[in-house]
Structure 1
Amino acid sequence: MAKKKPPAAASLFDEPPADTPAVPPPADFPASWGPALGGEFGQPYFAKLQEFVAAERTEHEVFPAADDVYNAFKYTPFDGVKVVLLGQDPYPTPGHAHGLCFSVRPGVALPASLRNIYKELESDLGIPPAKHGYLAAWAKQGVLMLNAVLTVRSGTPNSHANRGWEKFTDAALKAVNAKTEPVVFVLWGGYAGKKKVLIDANRHEIIQSAHPSPLSAHNGFFGSKPFSKINAALTDFGHAPIDWKLPEKVS
């Protein structure tokens, strides 16, 4: 794998954000991401999005909890992003979603997609499946575990799609794409694959396969060896590889 180097001049992917009013980010939004996404908070779509989510919380149960919505950004500071793992929207099952794609809180039964992720991890690197599904240890090593949509109504998948979250998370992907250091983007499934147009493949590594869902895992996810490929790319870039073995005890 040839090491990729950033171009001397900014590429067409590195367009600066449009001028917008200086609006402070939400109170619980991490400061490290403020400069990268500051242009989004003053845009009309973001205000409408926040109004929509607030209204949903008054009428329905919404996941994750308000304090957990931005956990992907909190657990992985902008300067520390080495890998982007993209999901679609949070688990709509009570007690599952906590702001990191594919991850569930300690004590929650493993969702089917996560069980398949663990199967592939064992096949790829020989790491036995963890007894829990709490993936924060990956996020803290530089894996941005980002859903394209950050909230969902209980029991109703994709209920908060097309309300503005996609525009916000696309801006996050563009910001990571514009980083000087190369990053590994992991796109599982057709939905994530559509985000490929936001990534400069000449500067970054893209690892793409079928989704780990039981509906598609046997059609290209199993046997794709994403974890060893990620670490090979990181090593090639001069970064430390990810330790994919999760701690046995979490709190």
Structure 2
Amino acid sequence: MSKSSWERVLSEAYASLEAEYQRFLEEDADYFPTKENYLNAFNTLPKEKVKYILFGQDPYPRKESAGGYAFIDTKVQNLFSASGLSKEVNRATSLRNFMKMALVASHRLTTDDTSQEAITKLDKTAMIDSIDDLRRNFEKNGVLLLNTALIFTDKKSTKKHIKAWKPFIQTLLNAMEENAPKLILFGTHAKDLKRQFSLDRFETIELEHPYNHTFISNPKAIKLFGPMNLLDK
């Protein structure tokens, strides 16, 4: 566990939240991830090892999917099945497209054919097969998987939570300036982040959201994620 390397930063960032919102976080039981889990991203990646921050928007709107990490759907168990990508991955459009991009980036597939049939034929013995392994591989590459709102209550409150967490994220970014992590920004949310925060101090890598099919063959995504070997055991 590595939250200790974050302790000072996190206590400063938490202190920057409005008192009323702090009270809500401490007393309410209806949001998720739970109080015990919403800071999970800081538990497993030490501050000094952060090379990138991948910013998601807010947690998945399902309790079983939201585990305290951006982009990691904890409802997904296996990544693959006998017929290609697993049913759970296929249902999660962003994850499905991300997996296909990672298969292209690792030269296992070509952009001409990322079908289930093509994935079925791959030798998967050297590949990971759990969402947790994917999360660990992100972290081995120094990618902090962080949402700009760390909790979810309901869709109509998303903007409210993003606004409430803004001082926390700003304090965190100020503290991370010396580490100079690159910021990975997906889709329209990237524009919002650039408008809300002073990001000129950081190198930003902006990509369309993986929800878009074009993400699979985006040369910038392939160049960024290819060397990370995210699917290797």
Given the two structures, how large is their TM-score scaled by the length of structure 2? 0.71
1:140 Cα deviation after fit: 4.2
Describe the SS at the equivalent of 2:100. helix
Query: 1 CA distance for matches of 2:156 and 2:45?
Result: 24
Q: What is aligned with 2:152?
A: 152
Which letter maps to 1:107?
Answer: Q
Question: Secondary structure of the residue that 1:198 maps to in structure 2?
Answer: coil
Instruction: Give the corresponding residue for 1:99.
Output: 68
Equivalent in the alignment of 1:30: 3
How much identity, in percent, do the aligned residues show?
28
Q: Give the deviation of 1:73 after TM superposition.
A: 1.4
Q: State the aligned residue count.
A: 198
Higher RCO, Cα 8 Å, sep 6+: 2
Matches within 5 A, 1:47-58: 47-57=19-29
Q: CA RMSD in A?
A: 2.9
Q: Which residue of 1 aligns with 2:125?
A: none
Shift of 1:88: 0.3
Aligned residue in 2 for 1:193: 191
Which residues in structure 2 correspond to 1:61-210 (within 5 Å)?
62-105=31-74, 107=77, 109-110=88-89, 111-126=92-107, 131-134=129-132, 135-137=134-136, 138-153=138-153, 156-157=154-155, 159-163=157-161, 164-176=164-176, 178-179=177-178, 181-196=179-194, 197-200=197-200, 204-210=202-208
1:141 to partner: Cα distance: 3.4
Letter in 2 for 1:50: Q
Aligned match of 1:223? 217
What is the CA deviation profile of residues 90-131 of structure 1, one whole-angstrom value per residue up to 9, with x for unaligned ones? 011131111111102252723221111111112223357864
Partners in 1 of 2:21 and 2:232 — Cα distance? Answer: 35
Gaps of at least 5 residues in structure 2 are 79-87, 110-118, 120-127
CA–CA separation in structure 2 for the residues paired with 1:170 and 1:29: 21
In the TM superposition, 1:211-250 aligns within 5 A as: 211-213=209-211, 217-218=212-213, 220-230=214-224, 242-245=228-231, 247=233
Q: CA deviation at 1:79?
A: 1.0
Does the 8 A contact of 1:124 with 1:228 survive in 2? yes
Where 2:228 maps in the other structure, the secondary structure is coil
Unaligned runs of 5+ in 1: 1-27, 233-240
- Which amino acid in the other structure matches residue 30 of structure 1? K
Cross-structure match for 1:238 = none
| Maintained 8 Å contact 1:29/1:70 | no
Q: Secondary structure at the match of 2:130?
A: coil
TM-score normalised by the chain length of structure 1: 0.67
C-alpha displacement of 1:231:
6.1
Aligned in 2, Cα 1:160/1:120: closer, same or farther, shift over 3 Å? same
